[in-house]
Amino acid sequence: MSGPSGRSSTRFAGRNTIERLARFGFCARGAVYCVVGMLAVLAAVGAGGKAGDSAGALRFVLLGPLGPWIVGLIALGLWGFAAWRLVEAVTDADRRGTSPKGLAVRGAHLISAGIYAGLGLTAASLALGLGLQSDGDGLQDWTAWLLAKPYGRVAVALIGLGVVGGGVGFLVKAARGDVTERLALDAARQAWAEPVGRFGYAARGIAFLIIGGFVVVAAWYQASSEVKGLSGAFQALRAQPYGRVLLAIVAAGHVAFGAFGLIQARYRRIDAPDIDQADDAVARVVRPGA
């Protein structure tokens, strides 16, 4: 292809299968968080929405025109995003390196791969007419299972602290990080993309702090019922003084996070090995001298 439009089209479509999956995945994740945030904003202003989790957003989409088809496409996109996160973590496609910070980011990407693969399964089950539990119920089940194990209380506490740490990381990135460092943007586009990204990361940071706090409390009291997902975080905000305002701000931030995901789908630099090269990429990581 030639010309600006041709280059743009190529960048969006991707150069290989994994890159295309990644871009499709950023789209799907962005769409989910846009819906999550919009529903929570409507709830905050009393316009009939519900401040729920990602599964609730998928159920909302399911009720719309062509709902099962759209949710099915979202499921495929979320699995594509999970595949990209796995590739990032294992092959170091983003050149994070093996420093403690780099390994921490890659480890977080590995966890993210599992989370979005699970959310993709939820979306697929809804598209096929099956019902799965909400995020909060699933978290409570896993917490109850883990608390019943030897040293389970310690494990749950460490997980909660890890989620809190992720929230701190999001807030630091929102305040001081270069949120557009991996985006191919000119100055004009960066001028509006950067504040969208910062607002989105700040909102996710606040949500992670609250969710992680719930998990730590569950460990302290050895009660899995204390664990809440994103819907619980929204409810906790709503219960505070000026709760409607707080919920509206954080909900709008989730819309911004979703919108930033759509920006990433379009402009992110993705240097991914193609599927037929993935084995070699993994081998280079496992056996550096190979």
pLDDT tens digits in sequence order for the chain, 290 residues long: 334 444 444 444 556 888 999 999 999 999 999 999 999 999 998 877 778 888 889 999 999 999 999 999 999 999 999 999 999 899 888 888 888 888 988 998 999 999 999 999 999 999 998 765 555 567 788 888 899 888 899 999 999 999 999 999 999 999 998 999 999 999 999 999 999 999 999 999 999 999 999 999 999 999 888 888 898 999 999 999 999 999 999 999 999 999 999 999 999 998 877 655 554 555 455 455 54
User: φ and ψ at 4, to 5 degrees?
Assistant: -60, -45
How far, in Å, CA of 281 to CA of 166, rounded?
Answer: 28
Write down the pLDDT at residue 134: 52
Per the CB < 8 A criterion, the answer to whether 7 and 232 are in contact is no
Write down the pLDDT at residue 2: 39
Identify the three-state secondary structure at position 223. Answer: coil
- Residue spans of the domains in the chain: they are 3-283
Write down the pLDDT at residue 9: 43
CA 174 to chain centre: 15
Rg of the chain on CA atoms, in Å = 19
How far, in Å, CA of 272 to CA of 86, rounded?
Answer: 11
Write down the pLDDT at residue 10: 42
How far, in Å, CA of 71 to CA of 123, rounded?
Answer: 6
Contacts of 89 (CB under 8 A, 6+ apart): 106, 107, 109, 110, 113
pTM to 2 decimal places: 0.85
Per the CB < 8 A criterion, the answer to whether 34 and 196 are in contact is no
Tokens of 22: 């990644």
Identify the three-state secondary structure at position 6. Answer: helix
Write down the pLDDT at residue 141: 83
Write down the pLDDT at residue 250: 96
